[in-house]
Amino acid sequence: MNTPVQPDGTLSPTLGPEQPEQPEQPMVRFAGVTKRYGELTVLDGLDLDVQEGEKVAIIGPSGSGKSTLLRALMTLEEIDEGVIEVDGEPLTHMPDASGRLVRANTRHLRRVRGNVGMVFQSFNLFPHMSVRQNVMEAPVQVLGLAKSEARERAEELLAMVGLEDKLEHFPAQLSGGQQQRVAIARALAMRPKVMLFDEVTSALDPELCGEVLNVIRRLGEAHNLTMLMVTHQMGFAREFADRVCFFHQGRIHEQGTPDELFNQPREDRTREFLSAVNEAS
């Protein structure tokens, strides 16, 4: 699709074509998103709309751009072309006084990005803080929440992920699965509308994966959170996702319901990937 970038580097106010089959405004929109590292094109004119509350699993070979997609949505990577919107607002652009879209300033970026939370493969907890402090930190420092309120929120979320008895522990005193659940509670403490999970169980022993996936499953059921999950666990993707996107060479090569994608893949490349994954597991 054509990107709406104008020759002077600004964006035209119309962000991509109308999509009559999906009249709702998507919670997340990638339109013509391209990301390059030197000669290497990692995202190649990617289009993806995710509706509010939708659970999307992203699968695909190593190096196909899955993490880059999530990192771009977290503004951890700058994109070269196209537009990313969150809840109807362009992430990296904002309207100027005359209504034209120009590069976003830091304030705009922070505000729009505040709708998005991410959990990584490595848990990235603050090692010198207790579990409770880890979850309280950003709401106090970034949102300016009163400590008492942040504490209440932290304890509620830690109970939800089954760690109410670990509030005073430090990360090093927890198992990997427990640390990952703290990381999930910490991301949720910012009350995001969109949650991103990037292979959150890959660093865990198989017996610890289940507890983390259970938390994610419960989250999906209890909240109208929009979720994008990169995963190598086809079983979980099948059960959790409303839609599965197969990534290949920086594009969505094929997508569909779990049944369509796993049971009746149309593309050769998807079939090859799925049979390689099945053999490996």
Ligand X SMILES: Nc1ncnc2c1ncn2[C@@H]1O[C@H](COP(=O)(O)OP(=O)(O)OP(=O)(O)O)[C@@H](O)[C@H]1O
Specify the amino acid at residue 216: I
Pick from 3, 48, 54, 66 the residue near ligand X by CB under 6 A.
66
In the list Mg ion, ligand X, none, the entry touching 68 (Cβ below 5 to 8 angstroms by class) is ligand X
Query: If DSSP codes are grouped into helix, strand and coil, which group holds residue 161?
Result: coil
In the list ligand X, Mg ion, none, the entry touching 92 (Cβ below 5 to 8 angstroms by class) is none
Pick from 64, 130, 134, 179 the residue near ligand X by CB under 6 A.
64
* Measured distance CA(147)–CA(138) in Å, rounded: 11
Element (H, E) at 227: strand 226-230
We find the least distance from the C-beta atom of residue 68 to ligand X, in angstroms, to be: 3
Contact call for residue 233 and ligand X (CB under 6 A): no
86-125: contacts with ligand X (CB under 6 A): none
Decide: 244 and 57 in contact? Cβ < 8 Å.
yes
We find the least distance from the C-beta atom of residue 148 to ligand X, in angstroms, to be: 40
Pick from 67, 115, 130, 134 the residue near Mg ion by CB under 5 A.
67
Give the binding range for ligand X (CB under 6 A) out of 59-67, 129-137, 170-178, 213-221. 59-67
We find the least distance from the C-beta atom of residue 73 to ligand X, in angstroms, to be: 12
Of 33, 76, 66, 89, whose CA–CA distance to 197 is shortest? 66
Contact call for residue 276 and ligand X (CB under 6 A): no
Of 112, 120, 132, 94, whose CA–CA distance to 193 is shortest? 112
Contact call for residue 62 and ligand X (CB under 6 A): yes
We find the least distance from the C-beta atom of residue 67 to ligand X, in angstroms, to be: 3
Specify the amino acid at residue 43: L
Number of residues engaging ligand X in binding (CB under 6 A): 9
Pick from 11, 31, 33, 42 the residue near ligand X by CB under 6 A.
42
CB atoms inside a 10 Å sphere around CB 2: 11
| Mode of pairing for the β-strands spanning 55-59 and 243-248 | parallel
We find the least distance from the C-beta atom of residue 166 to Mg ion, in angstroms, to be: 29
Q: What are the DSSP calls for 240-275, one per residue? A: H-SEEEEEETTEEEEEE-HIIIIIS--SHHHHHHHH
Residues found near ligand X in the complex (CB under 6 A): 37, 42, 62-68
